């Protein structure tokens, strides 16, 4: 995969990498910059962070990489999604949240979503 480096916030940004400022969601919140190539996937990033767990985060360790999940713009990223597919700018900083969670939330099925929408519409229009 990539030649990944890790730097503290405020370091210079390499022009050929995507800088991900990962926010580890704990109290207090912890932030750290990591650098990846556009081809790197969410699963690779989580494995890399687990394998190179930052000293600054030592009080909030996890037991395996599979519990780490990335959140970008309010959505969980599935493991096969490359960060290049998100159109993140190369040579600039982008922010993602990193959380420890066993499973991703299940998306509602299309059929169920349509039924729910129809039920809401029919209930709101009933005149008693």
C-alpha–C-alpha distance, residues 83 and 59, integer Å: 28
Which own/partner pairs from 74-78 qualify as long-range (CB within 8 Å, at least 24 positions apart)? 76/104, 76/105, 77/42, 78/42, 78/104
Q: Give which of 18, 79, 2 is closest to 43, Cα–Cα.
A: 79
| DSSP structure string for 67-110 | GEEEEETTEEPPTT-BGGGGTPPTTSEEEEEEEE-SSPPPPPPH
Mean pLDDT of 82-86: 96
Looking at residue 13, its pLDDT comes to 84
Range of the domain at 81: 5-125
Taking the CB of residue 55, how many other CB atoms lie within 10 A of it?
A: 6
Taking the CB of residue 81, how many other CB atoms lie within 10 A of it?
A: 17
C-alpha–C-alpha distance, residues 70 and 50, integer Å: 13
Count of CA atoms in the C-beta half-sphere (13 A) of 39: 5
Domain count along the chain: 1
Q: 98: pLDDT confidence band, cut at 50, 70 and 90?
A: very high
Looking at residue 120, its pLDDT comes to 56
CATH of the domain at 76: 3.10.20.90
Residue 5 has pLDDT above 60, yes or no: no
Burial class (CB in 10 A: 0-12, 13-18, 19+), 97: middle
Residue 10 has pLDDT above 50, yes or no: no
């Amino acid at each position: 995969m990539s030649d990944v480096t890790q730097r503290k916030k405020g370091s210079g940004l390499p022009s050929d990498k995507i800088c991900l400022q990962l926010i580890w969601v704990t109290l207090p919140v912890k932030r750290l910059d990591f650098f990846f190539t556009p081809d790197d996937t969410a699963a690779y990033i989580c494995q890399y962070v687990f394998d190179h767990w930052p000293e600054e985060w030592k009080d909030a360790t996890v037991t395996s990489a599979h519990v780490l999940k990335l959140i970008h713009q309010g959505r969980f990223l599935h493991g096969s999604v490359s960060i290049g597919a998100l159109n993140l700018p190369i040579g600039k900083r982008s922010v993602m949240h990193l959380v420890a969670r066993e499973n991703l939330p299940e998306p509602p099925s299309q059929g169920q979503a349509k039924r729910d929408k129809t039920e809401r519409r029919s209930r709101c229009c009933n005149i008693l």
